[in-house]
Structure 1
Amino acid sequence: MDEARARDVLTRAGLTGPAELLSFGENAVFALGDLVVKVGREAALLERAERELAVAGWLAGAGIPAVRAAEPAPRLADGHPVTLWHRLPGAVRPAGPEDLAALLRPLHALPAPPVPLPARDLLGGVERWLRLAGEAVDPADAAYLRARRDAYAGELAALTPHLAPGPIHGDALPRNVHVGPDGPVLVDLETVSADLREHDLVVMALSRDRYGLPVAEYEAFTAAYGWDVRDWEGCAVLRGARETASCAWVAQHAPANPKALTEFRRRVASLREGDPEVLWYPF
């Protein structure tokens, strides 16, 4: 799915008018009037879209500041799930790591929700992303990532957590926090899961080590949350699994974007060489 295809899906879903493309990742995300519309890449994402809307309702009832759904169920247009969300007021400033931590603390304090949540299937998308990459990536690189996925799957299952498991965001980064006039709000709820709370913390540790997050900002995050996941003996396993997934995620963009292919190759090479300090570029 490219932008033109996503715009065609908007029309088929009955959504007309000027649409501004906000982002293009797992979904094409558009601003349309007072709505934000997310177009999923394929019909297989329908169940996840349904769950994301249910999670939004649960978080609203629990008093967690998060994006709110404009419709309770997805529309399915030409095989693509389409979800509608209330557009948030303009940001008053960029979100920082401490804003993320301030939202994770109450989220992690919640009991199990009435919405059935899956485990955080960190590696579950690897096969789909590699399939979407097709012949754009070296088959040897794809095979390497599949083998790495399989190895980490067993290690993940054997981890002993430090924190009590429960609801997590699943992709806890400042980019998934919007700071409006009423304060920080969680967005992108599609990976909300029930699993090790450490999943939400290792993301920022990886940002520090792989994406150049300044040490002072990482320390602001751990101070606001109250714990540094790098002190946990399972951190290396969780980090390695996430690196595997992050590398495969970029692959899906390689057929249409040369920069994505370059970044994919950079990431695979650093994993093959066992170099934990090669910087990766956000994509």
Structure 2
Amino acid sequence: MDEALARDVLDAAGLTGGSALLLALGENAVFRTGDLVVKVGREAALLERAERELAVAAWLEQAGIPAVRAAEPAARLVSGHPVTVWRRLPDAVRPAAPADLAVLLRQLHALPAPPFTLPARDLLGGVERWLRLAGDAVDPADAAYLRARRDAYADEAAGLTPCLPPGPIHGDALPRNVHAGPDGPVLVDLETVSADLREHDLVVMALSRDRYGLPDAAYGEFTAAYGWDVRDWEGCAVLRGARETASCAWVAQHAPANPRALAEFRHRVASLRTGDTAARWHAF
């Protein structure tokens, strides 16, 4: 997603793109404008996901789960891009901690299914799109390697026997998706909320410990607050491998315009090819 294009979409939606503050630029361009936060999706194909995110937000509000709230009930398709509008949260009072995330996950994981259909967590579903967006910027051999790895892990994941009862999950359970405001921590970024193995949400933090430098003490606080360590489950390595594959492909989409992304992509793929499970990756 190009920032200038995203600002044009904001202007077309009547949301003053020129004066909006860019907060994030990834799968979506996220802007703050006045008391609102606006998300602009990369392509029209993401409209269904944007609409589902709004439904999830309304469901969590009814369930009393602390989470971001929508300012408009429906998504818009503006110049071929899905646009959703959210209430701006109060400024954070501190960084969110892994234990904050664990408490929110316990609440979410205790919920029954919502009154609408949630998809399975299609962790590997974006790999093809991200590699397509990377185009010639990445080595075709690396792209082929990730496609083969995706297919292998998809088959393995389909045969896993969970330890926890399946149900609603966040899908991208990281402290960066928790906002620690004056009224306490709340969940944000609800677009990957799914119905699947609860272990998906817990493997994310195990991978953060192993790949991104999360301290052992912080990981221990997370598992203590949740009440279980997913590394004790025999399927952990499979979900970890699937997420690593997706994480590599996600970085690839930024490679055409960002040399740092290309370098990180190459580093990640090299560590997977050599089986280096302890190589440090850098958040991007």
Residues in 2 aligned to 1:46 and 1:279: alpha-carbon distance in whole angstroms: 35
Q: Structure 1 residue 14: deviation in Å?
A: 1.4
User: What's the secondary structure of 1:140's corresponding residue?
Assistant: helix
- Partner of 2:133 in structure 1? 132
Q: Structure 1 residue 75: deviation in Å?
A: 1.1
- Partner of 2:258 in structure 1? 257
Structure 1 segment 8-87 matched on structure 2, within 5 A: 8-16=8-16, 18-87=19-88
- Partner of 2:105 in structure 1? 104
- Partner of 1:4 in structure 2? 4
Residues in 1 aligned to 2:45 and 2:257: alpha-carbon distance in whole angstroms: 21
Residue 233 (structure 2) pairs with residue 223 (structure 1): no
- Partner of 1:196 in structure 2? 197
TM-score, normalisation: structure 1: 0.99
- Partner of 1:208 in structure 2? 209
Residues in 1 aligned to 2:155 and 2:283: alpha-carbon distance in whole angstroms: 28
User: What's the secondary structure of 1:141's corresponding residue?
Assistant: helix
CA deviations over 1:63-103 (Å, ceiling 9, x no partner)? 00000000111111110000000000000000000000010
Q: Structure 1 residue 18: deviation in Å?
A: 1.6
Q: Which amino acid aligns with 2:49?
A: R
Residue 174 (structure 2) pairs with residue 173 (structure 1): yes
CA deviations over 1:138-188 (Å, ceiling 9, x no partner)? 000000000000000100000000000000000000000000000000000
Residues in 2 aligned to 1:125 and 1:66: alpha-carbon distance in whole angstroms: 25
Residues in 2 aligned to 1:128 and 1:163: alpha-carbon distance in whole angstroms: 31
Q: Which amino acid aligns with 1:70?
A: A
Residues in 1 aligned to 2:145 and 2:154: alpha-carbon distance in whole angstroms: 14
Q: Which amino acid aligns with 1:241?
A: A
Q: Which amino acid aligns with 1:114?
A: P
CA deviations over 1:247-268 (Å, ceiling 9, x no partner)? 0000000011110000000000
TM-score, normalisation: structure 2: 0.99
Number of corresponding residues: 283
Residues in 2 aligned to 1:59 and 1:154: alpha-carbon distance in whole angstroms: 32
User: What's the secondary structure of 2:19's corresponding residue?
Assistant: coil
- Partner of 2:118 in structure 1? 117
Q: Structure 1 residue 53: deviation in Å?
A: 0.3
Q: Which amino acid aligns with 1:118?
A: P
How much identity, in percent, do the aligned residues show?
Answer: 84
Q: Which amino acid aligns with 1:152?
A: Y
Structure 2: segments with no counterpart, 5+ residues: none
Q: Structure 1 residue 115: deviation in Å?
A: 2.2
User: What's the secondary structure of 2:237's corresponding residue?
Assistant: helix
Residues in 2 aligned to 1:115 and 1:209: alpha-carbon distance in whole angstroms: 36
CA deviations over 1:50-70 (Å, ceiling 9, x no partner)? 000000000000000000000
Q: Which amino acid aligns with 2:44?
A: A
Q: Which amino acid aligns with 2:132?
A: R
User: What's the secondary structure of 1:110's corresponding residue?
Assistant: coil
Residues in 2 aligned to 1:241 and 1:89: alpha-carbon distance in whole angstroms: 35
Q: Which amino acid aligns with 2:211?
A: R
Residue 283 (structure 2) pairs with residue 282 (structure 1): yes
Contact 1:102 1:225 survives alignment (8 Å): yes
